[in-house]
Homo-oligomer: A and B are copies of this chain.
């Protein structure tokens, strides 16, 4: 953990000084695909690195982080009519968004807190 963090910090400090100059023509989707593929590798390795004894907390914490859709839900709840009067459609979007915020928040709070509760129970031999 410490080693990885050191690697990440050292590397990130060095990098943002540099900038791409010849990539502005590349479609953003290309980058997203590359990011996605790398994320599959990271997901694969990081999940296999979880000790089997903590597989139940793994399930509950992934519940919590999958509620990241809350960012889209918030945008929906704050939907605007783009200057025009707020009509039925926008209100529907807001209502659906608010319900999504509600659901996702249950997952966020419930997931992280139940994980914390479980993890607090794991103790070493005293």
Contacts and interface: CB of A to CB of B under 8 A. Distances in A.
Contacts of A24: 28
10 contacts: A7-B40, A8-B41, A11-B36, A12-B37, A15-B33, A20-B28, A31-B32, A31-B34, A42-B42, A45-B49
B46 A8 contact: no
Contacts of A40: 7-8, 11
Interface of A (DSSP majority class): helix
Count the copies: 2
Nearest to A30: B31
A18 B8 CA distance: 30
A7 to B, nearest CB: 6
Contacts of A42: 38, 41-42, 45
A119 interface: no
Given A20-B29, A29-B20, A46 B44 contact: no
A84 interface: no
Contacts of A37: 8, 11-12
